[in-house]
Structure 1
């Protein structure tokens, strides 16, 4: 099959960002398929562009995976610029793939339009219909539901954005989704839509992890967070908890890998608690280096924001699966259920109270010390059995084949 995959934020592993589509494309290419990823050149984590010459678009191959980069706009802490960036990506899709014919030149058998934001996906759907090619919609996040949960959207705007979602679902031959209960939402919201559904969660790429698993652990007392620094990541909860650990005389060090709009405020909080020697901001690292960072620490931690209305259809953050693949003890602070709650050596704290989180951190560090330089083999076994990206690609390949075969069967009637 020839597969065209469009996602604004798709990234190769040599830069910070999500590598889901890169990893899937590599597996599909290894199985004999042709894949072209269309993505924005802008990296919003770093405010830079990916191999950006002067021009509207350019081709590149990232470790055997073809990319068509569309020049995008970077933004930091600006809703207006973010909206403009989304609109520009959609226009670039229509211009480069449609008017300039780069999409038809690739001549896909199937087109995958990936969210989270629906604007680029709508532009992709328009082109797939014009080309007469089946559309597969990948729902990474429910818009406008998730957007409304993070900000106070006017009702008219929520209703307007819902039209985009409805158009995409009704245009698709199939819908894949990351959060595990999104299928329920689609069936109940669009009961007349005749689409195949596939739960295709995030996962980890074993090709990026296997070498890192041989790394020595720097210190059992070292705890790391790897991910974005936004409001939803609630690192302030952890800073308060590490302050409590310090006051209790429990030795620990907290390293934060990542960047985002909340970093300045978090750094001020660290200074206010006089924790600058204990809590250190390391900055963002390319995805290819993330497994090494995860596997060389004593323990790992993350916080899921207390927004049960947002996560009522599930969650599928990349870091969840990258963490468990490391085989190091992990603490998840979350009032909602997560996909890794039942994984061996994953501790769960349902409270955001600093004293209770500190107590959970103390247990986490104790478990890390008991492991020493070793790894939790039950944790790694569980990760490979349930979360390795190859398992997702197995199901995706079958779905794409069914969609293409069904489309040709209809045409030949």
Structure 2
């Protein structure tokens, strides 16, 4: 089959951020399908550009890949304020729609993400005027998270308009893949809906075999966080926990890997409270697992509301690959449920509870690892969320529906 991927990014292992787009392209190509990836030339996370100028609207590129990769030029970035995001989305949509129109009869499937919506709708020339089927992947639910973070109002025009357009896209799709069941519910699937959909999480790369180094860091409890320092994942409760941990007399260290618009605020808060926090900057995705494996715990904050709690992001699976016990801030979340079910960490709902758990871990000395009874549990969860198996299921979605 011939498949067009109109995703909003495509990253390689030495880039920062999620790799799902490239992994899907590689998995489909490995199955013998002809894959074309048509993506913007600027990464929405890092603002890194593959090429500059208007010498061509799009260029064939790629790093020795088994699929065709085109990068198209867009102005602005997806993270430079509302105006910058608007320009980015509209320009990307126009160019992607032009490409889809020119090659409207070339594909059997067109795959898009549900966000950003302008790029998603650029698939319609192939769907309406060609013979392609539409697959929509739900990777996040930004409008609902924005409401929970107080950025927009649920009863406002922006939210209402966004959700109507989003649900139209989902209804028009021939199939929908969501990272979690909770995310699918936010776009009107599940429950009373009879629409068929698939839940296929990001998954864990089980090729990483290095054994996690256990305790023995000079009597210091070391905790890490990897991710974007933006408005979505809130580290405030973690900082408060480290402040409270000082009253227990527990030596601790919190290393934050990442960058973003909220970084300066977090630096000021940490300095104001006199906390042992190191801001280590963003690192390539290929180094995350190795770095993470040297810590006692990795923190995954998903408190703030049901939409955010429904997510299972890249870092959740990076932590699992590193086999490091996880602290999920937000017990009533998909991540919290999984961590408790497989006993690979613990979940909390407050800074006080987090500080208490870390203090207990430290005070139990060499027996502290009993608090997170990992044992063979990591092997069980790694097998359940094996990325190779999940990507094979992703490929089966399009293959089974063309028989």
Residue in structure 2 matched with residue 272 of structure 1 by the alignment: 272
* 1:249-398 to 2 correspondences below 5 Å: 249-275=249-275, 278-308=276-306, 310-311=307-308, 314-339=310-335, 340-341=338-339, 342-349=341-348, 351-352=349-350, 354-363=351-360, 370=367, 376-398=374-396
Residue in structure 1 matched with residue 161 of structure 2 by the alignment: 160
Residue in structure 1 matched with residue 131 of structure 2 by the alignment: 132
In the TM superposition, residue 315 of structure 1 has moved relative to its aligned partner by: 1.9
Residue in structure 2 matched with residue 45 of structure 1 by the alignment: 45
Give the alignment partner of residue 93 of structure 1, picking from 96, 100, 109: 96
Supply the distance in 2 between the matched residues of 1:369 and 1:49 (Cα, whole angstroms). Answer: 48
Q: Cα deviations across residues 270-300 of structure 1 (Å, max 9, x unaligned)?
A: 111122xx21001111111111122232321
Q: Is the 8 A contact 1:36 1:65 kept in 2?
A: no
Give the TM-score, by structure 1 length: 0.84
Q: Cα deviations across residues 55-106 of structure 1 (Å, max 9, x unaligned)?
A: 43222224525432222322545122123222222112012343xx3x459x
Q: Cα deviations across residues 173-232 of structure 1 (Å, max 9, x unaligned)?
A: 11111122344453469958xx5311111212234x33xx25756837321101111222
Does structure 1 residue 71 correspond to structure 2 residue 73? yes
Q: Is the 8 A contact 1:143 1:165 kept in 2?
A: no
Residue in structure 2 matched with residue 148 of structure 1 by the alignment: 147
Residue in structure 1 matched with residue 180 of structure 2 by the alignment: 179
Judge which range, 123-132 or 171-180, deviates more: 123-132
In the TM superposition, residue 137 of structure 1 has moved relative to its aligned partner by: 1.0
Q: Is the 8 A contact 2:329 2:347 kept in 1?
A: yes
Supply the distance in 2 between the matched residues of 1:122 and 1:35 (Cα, whole angstroms). Answer: 19
Judge which range, 361-370 or 15-24, deviates more: 361-370
In the TM superposition, residue 115 of structure 1 has moved relative to its aligned partner by: 2.4
Partner-residue secondary structure (3-state), 1:250: coil
Supply the distance in 2 between the matched residues of 1:126 and 1:402 (Cα, whole angstroms). Answer: 24
Partner-residue secondary structure (3-state), 2:303: coil
Unaligned runs of 5+ in 2: none
Partner-residue secondary structure (3-state), 2:62: strand
Residue in structure 2 matched with residue 203 of structure 1 by the alignment: 203
Aligned residues: 389
Supply the distance in 1 between the matched residues of 2:144 and 2:42 (Cα, whole angstroms). Answer: 25
Q: Is the 8 A contact 2:221 2:358 kept in 1?
A: no
Q: 1:274 to 1:203 in 2, by over 3 A?
A: same
Partner-residue secondary structure (3-state), 2:17: coil
Q: 1:248 to 1:190 in 2, by over 3 A?
A: closer
Judge which range, 110-119 or 150-159, deviates more: 150-159
Q: 1:368 to 1:403 in 2, by over 3 A?
A: farther
In the TM superposition, residue 256 of structure 1 has moved relative to its aligned partner by: 0.4
Q: Is the 8 A contact 2:250 2:362 kept in 1?
A: no
Supply the distance in 1 between the matched residues of 2:27 and 2:199 (Cα, whole angstroms). Answer: 18
Unaligned runs of 5+ in 1: 406-413
RMSD: 2.9
Judge which range, 75-84 or 88-97, deviates more: 75-84
* 1:15-30 to 2 correspondences below 5 Å: 15-30=15-30
Supply the distance in 2 between the matched residues of 1:366 and 1:4 (Cα, whole angstroms). Answer: 55
Partner-residue secondary structure (3-state), 1:9: coil
Q: 1:75 to 1:27 in 2, by over 3 A?
A: closer
Give the TM-score, by structure 2 length: 0.86
Does structure 1 residue 36 correspond to structure 2 residue 33? no
Q: Is the 8 A contact 2:27 2:395 kept in 1?
A: no
In the TM superposition, residue 359 of structure 1 has moved relative to its aligned partner by: 1.1
Supply the distance in 1 between the matched residues of 2:129 and 2:183 (Cα, whole angstroms). Answer: 28
Judge which range, 360-369 or 159-168, deviates more: 360-369
